[in-house]
Amino acid sequence: MNEQHPDRNFPKHFFWGASTAAHQVEGGLYNQWTKWELEHAKELAQTAHQRLSWLPNWNEIKDQAEEPENYVSGKGVDHFNRYKEDFDIAKQLNLNAFRFTIEWSRIEPQEGVWDAAALQHYKTYIKELRARKLEPFLNIWHWTVPVWFAEKGGFEKSENIAYFTRFVQKVSEELIDEVEYVITLNEPNVEASFGYLTGLHPPTHTSVWQFMKVYWNLVKTHRQAYKILKTKKPSLQVGIAMQLANIQAKRPHKYLDELTTQWMRYFWNWWFLRRIRKSQDFIGLNYYFSDYFTGLGKRANPKVPINDMGWYMEPEGIYPLLLRTWARFKKPIFITENGLADSQDVHRRWWIEETIVAMERAISEGVDLRGYFHWSLLDNFEWQDGWWPQFGLVHVDRKNGMKRVVRPSAKWFADTIDKIQD
């Protein structure tokens, strides 16, 4: 356990950070997602009403959601060029850590061809983080892959894992000298299910069998990546970021609700983590959802409060989740993502405040929690929903020169960090 601060439960060296992903902020990319966006933007705009008009804020988002442009990541928020300015903002917000992804499609745009300038970009990027005393948390895969890899069948084929591990080998030779924390995969549970079961993400398959294959291949991918990274640098701390939900029975003590709850907790939260438990130094936990289940797997959440995307919000649900995660794995935990779509900034401060209380409570119960990364530093491209959902501590005005505007909740968060660390 880290040394404790005398007045607070937070360890002295707690990481306060924000999280991003290359595809959602960088701009100027060519990968399987950018390709898919251009092919589907029109259709997504046309079906927006059908998918989203139930939202209380539909009138506010309508124009954007029905505009094909909304579904194209395009220039992103130009983080690729403005990253120093963004790091300065992170610093002003009293953060001391930053999670980001390196984009495989930039580094290996064609099979076996390494782009020296892209590698240099990320080397400088890491140096600039270090220069500002922002601890780099390097994330290798956040759902995007080069088009050539997708065309070979991506992670559906176990023989393709070798392409990814060759990339990891390159990363281990070029990019980890100044890095202590690496996350190999972001939310394999979400990407395997959205890409292969529910069909929301490319390649939009809806097959249980393909889902299982991909999910299992991602287990193997992580194990091999872990080995490569640790061989190169044994002191490196390596893990994944898993989307974990606080899953509860809607009617406690009802047999079916409890059964569904146990089942969902096992398959959604623990199955993958158990498969890799010998190949992880910490657990990265992404928390957005508390879900209540009834009967044979029906989700029945309270109707309020909800965020801009209609997601039920229960920030304090992270407390029982932290306890369960700790009890199962007894590994250091980082909250690698946590946040909400809240363009008007009405709920964000409340959400963060509740989360801080919940984290403190968990730490006081012995959970070895070492960091919190808010999702996200900047408003960014929210995958199949595009630009209208706004998750940033910092608003980005894409129509007005990509201007960065710090939200009031972020200022409050910065002051709070300052007080906690004081």
Binding site for ligand BGC (CB under 6 A): 21, 24, 186-187, 190, 243, 286, 337, 375, 382
For ligand BGC, which is the closer residue by CB, 172 or 336? 336
Minimum separation from the CB atom of position 185 to ligand BGC (A): 11
Minimum separation from the CB atom of position 252 to ligand BGC (A): 28
For ligand BGC, which is the closer residue by CB, 24 or 217? 24
Strand, helix or coil for residue 337: strand
Minimum separation from the CB atom of position 127 to ligand BGC (A): 25
Minimum separation from the CB atom of position 128 to ligand BGC (A): 23
Cα-trace Rg, the chain: 20
Q: How far apart are the first and last CA of the chain?
A: 20
**Residue 390: Cβ within 10 Å count:** 23
DSSP string covering 379-396:
---BGGGBTSS---SEEE
Spatial distance between the Cα atoms of 96 and 90, rounded to a whole number of angstroms = 8
- Please list the alpha-helical segments (H only) found in 30-102: 32-46, 48-52, 58-65, 79-92
Residue 210: alpha-carbon gap to chain centroid:
23
CB neighbour class for 109 (10 Å; exposed up to 12, middle 13-18, buried from 19) = middle
Minimum separation from the CB atom of position 284 to ligand BGC (A): 10
For ligand BGC, which is the closer residue by CB, 243 or 279? 243
Spatial distance between the Cα atoms of 385 and 369, rounded to a whole number of angstroms = 32
For ligand BGC, which is the closer residue by CB, 32 or 172? 32
DSSP code for 2: P
363 and 326 in contact (C-beta within 8 Å)? Answer: no
For ligand BGC, which is the closer residue by CB, 101 or 172? 101
For ligand BGC, which is the closer residue by CB, 240 or 249? 240
Minimum separation from the CB atom of position 240 to ligand BGC (A): 12
189 and 243 in contact (C-beta within 8 Å)? Answer: yes
Report CA dihedral (406, 409, 413, 416) to the nearest 10 degrees.
130
Amino acid present at 120: Q
Minimum separation from the CB atom of position 376 to ligand BGC (A): 7
For ligand BGC, which is the closer residue by CB, 294 or 384? 384
